[in-house]
Amino acid sequence: MGYVDEVLERVRTKNAAEPEFLQAVEEFMESVRPVIDANEDLYRKEAILERITEPDRQIKFRVAWVDDNGQAQVNTGYRVQFNNAIGPYKGGLRLHPSVYIGIIKFLGFEQIFKNSLTGLPIGGGKGGSDFDPKGKSDREVMAFCQAFMTELSKYIGADIDVPAGDIGTGAREIGYLFGQYKRIKNLYEGVLTGKGLTYGGSLARTEATGYGVLYLTEELLKCNGKDIAGKTIAVSGSGNVAIYAIQKAQQLGAKPVTCSDSTGWIYDPEGIDVALLKEVKEVNRARLTEYAAKRPSAEYHEGKGVWSVKVDIALPCATQNELLIDDAKALVANGVQAVVEGANMPTSLDATKYLQDAGVLFVPGKASNAGGVATSALEMSQNSERLSWTFEEVDSRLKGIMVNIYHNIDDAAKRYGKEGDYVAGANIAGFEKVCEAMIAQGIN
């Protein structure tokens, strides 16, 4: 058996109860197979694949807090510090009831290669908890965040590990987490990103992931002889990534006609009203039914369905495995030209293959949603020099990074005879830098 298959078998056996982690590893292994096969003896001797699929450490802890009824509640907290070959661990904190170690490991693993693709010095990590912020009062969220950080603070630091937002963790949560870190450590440092603008945050970080998805999409289309202007787009999700993807798509002359949340979805043939969506989701923290009630042109549907709409481009921006094989078939039947991931691993492996085989331009999240973490790294730079840059400066760097990522993944795919396979290109380009750094630093 070849080295790749040997390690894949071992990873499957060892992590059998973590399907999302295995899915991420399987995609990665298939992509880097030609790189490994070209120099199998070296990589085997270095145990590079065993080392890169085994986190540096996994921290798991109890988070006890008191709810508004005076009742003590207990959640589980996680931080997986996956790989710091090219920089301090960096990656978000997910607060969602579905969180368990397999979710955090898949996200941390993806983060290694994503962070490498940004070209900035950041390693891969991820954390979170099975805490559900939905329906909790601000005081309950604060109590949870303070308890969570009380333990997490032992393991992180501006030069060690720098967490940020993800599903369920936005500006409010980052504020409470930062306040508690500062109180415990008596240290004012850039230990988190996505901070508020009054205490070390960067302009354009809020917009960065969604904007970045569109900057990459624009370059992808341009280099494939197409234009984003005039395109109709299906977006899923209605959180941080989705909102700013919709906003930038409109600025580029495209028309996003859908969005969704965990209970239903909106079809708005006149184009999503971003100001209204922001009011419903960012200010009122309400359901999309409220959007439909205030927007005569919008239809609200219960359940899933955004991929059934006829569009030119699909941008999954909600969560993992939200675009499955039947969705891919529906999109292709409706003539979709590009699928660009805003979320992490939103497309299942069989759906990805179906789209690629049908000639759809497909870009994986580790490349297309890297604008968020890239701008987090820019926030770290600003914190280190104790300065803050203008919105225009950060935004123009973000755009440059996304254009660069597109060309790097395109080149990597071509170098291995896989032109147009951006999944292979992203994994290969992300892996090459981390691999070289790991080998240079010896066995550890």
Residues of this chain that bind ligand 2IT (CB under 6 A): 90-92, 114, 164, 166, 193, 344, 372-373, 376
Looking at the Cβ atoms of 376 and 408, the one nearer to ligand 2IT is 376
Per CB under 6 A, which region of 43-51, 179-187, 336-344, 396-404 contacts ligand NDP?
A: 336-344
User: Which of the listed partners (ligand NDP, ligand 2IT, none) does 91 bind, with a CB threshold of 5 to 8 Å by partner kind?
Assistant: ligand 2IT
From candidates 91, 102, 239, 364, binder to ligand NDP by CB under 6 A: 239
**Cα gap 116→118, rounded to integer Å:** 5
Query: Would you mind telling me the total number of residues written for the chain in this entry?
Result: 444
**Cα gap 375→389, rounded to integer Å:** 12
Residues 195-224 that bind ligand NDP (CB under 6 A): 209
**Is 366 annotated as catalytic?**
no
Indicate whether 166 belongs to the interface with ligand NDP (CB under 6 A). Answer: yes
Per CB under 6 A, which region of 11-19, 54-62, 65-73, 317-325 contacts ligand NDP?
A: 317-325
- Indicate which residue of 90, 126, 231, 255 is catalytic: 126
Looking at the Cβ atoms of 191 and 343, the one nearer to ligand NDP is 343
User: Which of the listed partners (ligand 2IT, ligand NDP, none) does 237 bind, with a CB threshold of 5 to 8 Å by partner kind?
Assistant: ligand NDP
**Cα gap 382→366, rounded to integer Å:** 24
In angstroms, what is the minimal distance from the CB of 287 to ligand NDP? 7
From candidates 372, 405, 413, 425, binder to ligand NDP by CB under 6 A: 372
Give yes or no for a contact between 29 and 46, defined as CB atoms under 8 angstroms apart: no
Q: Which residue has the tokens 């986190």?
A: 55
Give the pairing type, strands 299-302 and 264-267: antiparallel
**Cα gap 379→398, rounded to integer Å:** 12
In angstroms, what is the minimal distance from the CB of 235 to ligand NDP? 10
User: Which of the listed partners (ligand 2IT, ligand NDP, none) does 90 bind, with a CB threshold of 5 to 8 Å by partner kind?
Assistant: ligand 2IT
**Cα gap 293→341, rounded to integer Å:** 29
Per CB under 6 A, which region of 42-50, 115-123, 312-320, 353-361 contacts ligand NDP?
A: 312-320
Give yes or no for a contact between 3 and 49, defined as CB atoms under 8 angstroms apart: yes
In angstroms, what is the minimal distance from the CB of 127 to ligand 2IT? 10
Per CB under 6 A, which region of 339-347, 377-385, 402-410, 414-422 contacts ligand NDP?
A: 339-347
Looking at the Cβ atoms of 116 and 232, the one nearer to ligand 2IT is 116
**Cα gap 224→152, rounded to integer Å:** 45
From candidates 55, 77, 91, 342, binder to ligand NDP by CB under 6 A: 342
In angstroms, what is the minimal distance from the CB of 193 to ligand 2IT? 5
Indicate whether 165 belongs to the interface with ligand NDP (CB under 6 A). Answer: yes
Indicate whether 369 belongs to the interface with ligand NDP (CB under 6 A). Answer: yes
From candidates 261, 312, 395, 410, binder to ligand NDP by CB under 6 A: 261
What are the catalytic residues? Answer: 126
> Could you list the residues that contact ligand NDP (CB under 6 A)?
165-168, 170, 209, 237-242, 261-262, 317-319, 342-344, 369, 372
